[in-house]
Chain A
Amino acid sequence: MIRRIFNRTAALLCLLGAGQTTIAQTAFDGFTMSKGELCLVATYGESKWTEYWEGKRLRENLNIGEFKSTNFMPMLGYGITDRISVFATAAYISNSSDKGTMQHLKGWQDLNMETKIQLSKTAFKNSKLSTFATVGFSVPLTSYIPDFLPYSIGLGSKTAQARLIGHWKHNNGIFTTLQTGYITRSKIEVDRETYYTDQQYYSKEMAIPDVWDGSIRAGFDNKNIRAGIQYNWSFCTSGSDMRRNDMPYPSNRMNRESISLTALVWMPWVKGLAIQGMADQTIAGRNMGKAFSWMGGIQYVFKPFQKKTNEASKN
């Protein structure tokens, strides 16, 4: 029974170095939770880069050296019904580099909430197709400093997003998932009152570009393990390029494409317990670090409010 829950829950964290992406990966896979299921996740991850794209130009910066971002992220998921589940997460992030004199920053970043709704499920001869939609938002949890990139732990923006997910799974365990979404992001207020990005602004306000993102994933899923490879993209729909040798700004057009490997392994000796891991390599970008990231974590799924006999299959 527990294995079946896992099969349906399968909240896979695929941490890309920021809270938004984590919950995105969690809520935006093609797997469901059933009513009354609670999923607790805790992960630790690191992301490092020595080169970044200044606009479109890849360069190193000897006054940054190796940039390192670490994060600890608790997450909570809950099945409200068999078709609707909610997710919440927050990340504690610490950013530093091994060269230069710039201040290092750390702290709690944003609270991310997502609601995931199953729109359809269609059974074929040897496979199933499911579709989902998600809506969600994020708000900064603390008054962290957004305008000190790359050391800032987040952009300080309030966001809202909507997303569509298609998930096809063969009975032999092979699956593929395509998801794409749009994230709108609010303007932020920064400490300086005048700044120059693509022009001179006399304002404390800074515009944060919206984002179109998504991923294509292929993998294998059975009662013991789920593993996959995926291509991720995240493109700003507006924003300025960093000028040569200038500092980055939250309003920059930050684009990123990456390839990641993910795995989730069930622990046979404890019901509902799994460990998970992820590795991600940025392969293209704009105003963004060329990062390698990894994450490891633990998740526990159980039904705290219901008797365990009430686990009728919803698939």
Chain B
Amino acid sequence: MKQAKTNKIFIGGILALGMLAGCSKDIDQRSLPAFEPTATEANGGNWKTILLAGPADIIIPAPEAAGSAAYQAELTSIATRQQSITDTDKRIIEKWKSSGIIRWNEIARQLVATYNIPPEANPDGTYPAPNPNNPGAYPKFPFANPPYASRAYAYLHVAMYDALVTTWKYKFTHNRMSPAAQGTGIKALEPIQEGLPSYPSEDAVVAQVGYRLLKVMFPNDTTWLQEQSNEQKMAKQLSGVASPSDIAAGELIANQVAEKVLARYRTDGMGQAAGNPNLWDELKQDAMARGLTLPWESMETPKRPMMLAMFGNVKQFLITTAQRDSLRPEPPPAIGSPEFNEALAEVKRYSNNPSGEVWRIAQLWSDGAATYTPPGHWNEIACNSIVKNKFNELRTARTLALMNMAVFDAGISCWDAKAYYFYPRPSQADPSIKTIGLPNFPSYTSGHSTFSGAASTVLGYIFPDEKAEFERMSLEAAESRIYGAIHYRFDSEAGTRCGNAIGSFAVKKGMADGSN
């Protein structure tokens, strides 16, 4: 009897374990819902471009007429292909429907997260730098830190926007509708926007711009990016949205725009942003000459040079160097002043109690190494609102271009302040302060706060119903850095103000671009 009872307990235990073992390790991930854009934006071709003088900069041939033999042959090939559609085909159609730009934004975020790990020190105490000419060697190129990421997101979406304004110009010049709308029996295997001409294909533009830009920024992934690009173009032909000549015209636009945008990308000063030992020392000496008594030092062992010390000199999209200087925040409190001591004591209080809601917020916005960075976080927030508001590709491109220009410019202005003031971190002033993970650059002003202030200002303009929520998030992100014990309150407040100011330049640009 007793033996039987024991065995029952044991078997019961094994069964319970079996049930637990059956628990999936699959992660429940959030994804954006499918949606159909509401507006065609027939006047989109008149919107003001950013780097192009206008769509006329880009030349593509007129399409073959809908009745032409060449076009009819294209239609026949699509109809034939649709008859042997596979499950794989259906999956890629599903993947690329709704918004290709958001997919490419996600691809960019993923690449940033993949490459956002600081290089390990050499045995001799120096640090290796990624080499764009040998991108696969350790440390792999690029180190996609927040400045690098902000720049990548900005150029990607500026290029997409300029290319799509051009595309819209030609769409409504030529007015050739999609294969599925030609009445030849080609099925629409995904929703096709009524009244939106398909020559040139906006998807091909997005796919080709995405590929052309990102392969320069993340050269190790060129093959994979090419596959993504080809897949998107293939999906649109399979689903009856675009014909081969629609795709080819899109590629033509994308390639020309990519050339122009990449020409600026290569000459915007990023190549000099790392600086050199003489310049680093100069920054420190200059700040001390202006009265700083405790200059920033790397808290890492071995001491790591400031991340992209000269990034503040990179060419901005929205403001001039003179404007950058005039927007530079007021000097921070003198080290040891009552204001400084009070701010330091607040950081120390948070450092002493790493738990609960304070820690959760610090972690939520941390966006540190191996993440898509704060600019990536704001891209995700923007994409959520784009989907909620069912923006079409052109308006999506505009939203992400405006926001990412502001975020990139905000990063440059913030780095300018960091290098200019060369202000120590709280844990340098008081080594007993432990942190959520200390970034390797001076404290004043807070990068998160500046990025977030810029992004929330632009998004509040584009999505006025959510303005208050964006502001709340921006302030929470700024606060999170104090919670994480890596910033003084005055770092965050000055950063938010500067970010808001730079965001308003993007708002001004948006208000004048003819899209309203």
Measuring CB to CB, which residues of chain A are less than 8 angstroms from any residue of chain B? 62-63, 81, 83-84, 99-105, 115, 117, 119, 133, 135, 143, 145, 147-148, 160-162, 182, 184, 186-187, 190-196, 199-203, 205-210, 238, 243-247
Contacts and interface: CB of A to CB of B under 8 A. Distances in A.
Contact of A207 (B27, B109, B138): B27
Contact of A194 (B31, B114, B372): B372
Interface stretch (B180-188, B264-272, B329-337, B431-439): B431-439
Could you say which of B13, B117, B354, B360 has the most chain A C-beta atoms within 10 Å of its C-beta? Answer: B13
10 contacts: A63-B301, A84-B6, A99-B301, A101-B437, A102-B437, A187-B23, A196-B113, A196-B371, A205-B28, A245-B120
B25 A117 contact: no
Contacts of A160: 16-17, 20-21
Given A145-B355, A160-B17, A194-B113, 17 more contacts: A83-B6, A100-B299, A101-B435, A101-B438, A115-B13, A133-B10, A135-B10, A135-B13, A135-B14, A135-B16, A190-B363, A192-B371, A201-B27, A202-B30, A206-B27, A207-B26, A245-B118
B370 A196 contact: yes
A184 B20 CA distance: 7
A216 to B, nearest CB: 23
Contacts of A202: 29-31, 380
A7 B488 CA distance: 61
B435 A245 contact: no
B23 A195 contact: no
A104 B431 CA distance: 13
Contacts of A201: 27, 29
B302 interface: yes
Contact of A162 (B14, B27, B302, B355): B14
Given A63-B301, A196-B113, A245-B118, A135 B25 contact: no
B10 A62 contact: no
Given A102-B435, A135-B10, A184-B20, A63 B300 contact: yes
Contacts of A190: 363
Contacts of B114: 196, 200
A300 B23 CA distance: 39
Interface string B104-146: 0000011001100111110000000000000000100000000
A148 B31 CA distance: 26
Given A81-B2, A103-B436, A203-B27, A194 B354 contact: no
Contacts of A102: 434-435, 437
Nearest to A135: B13
Contact of B10 (A99, A117, A184, A203): A117
A195 B434 contact: no
B363 A147 contact: yes
Contacts of B121: 62
B452 interface: no
Contacts of A119: 10
B16 A246 contact: no
A30 B14 CA distance: 20
Contacts of A105: 354
Interface in B355-377: 355-356, 359-360, 363-364, 366, 369-372, 377
A160 B6 CA distance: 19
Given A243-B117, A246-B117, A83 B371 contact: no
B17 A101 contact: no
Nearest to B352: A103
A105 B363 CA distance: 14
A103 B485 contact: yes
B360 A191 contact: yes
Contacts of A84: 6, 9
B166 interface: no
B6 A117 contact: yes
A205 B28 CA distance: 7
Residue from B30, B356, B380 with most neighbouring chain A CB atoms (10 Å):
B30
A257 to B, nearest CB: 23
B117 A244 contact: yes
B299 A245 contact: no
B9 A117 contact: yes
Contacts of A244: 117, 120, 138
A184 B370 contact: no
A150 B80 CA distance: 58
B120 A62 contact: no
A10 B164 CA distance: 76
A89 to B, nearest CB: 18
Contacts of A200: 109-110, 113-114, 372
Nearest to B360: A191
B474 interface: no
A101 B21 contact: no
Smallest CB-CB A-B distances: 5 pairs: A135-B13, A191-B363, A62-B301, A196-B113, A207-B25
A238 B29 contact: no
Contacts of A184: 17, 20-21, 23
A274 B383 CA distance: 64
B396 interface: no
Contacts of A186: 20, 23
B427 interface: yes
Contacts of A162: 13-14, 17
* Most B CB within 10 A of own CB, among A100, A115, A209: A100
A164 to B, nearest CB: 10
Contacts of A199: 110
B302 A62 contact: yes
B435 to A, nearest CB: 5
Nearest to A145: B359
B13 A247 contact: no
Contacts of B355: 143, 145
B359 A191 contact: yes
Contacts of B119: 245
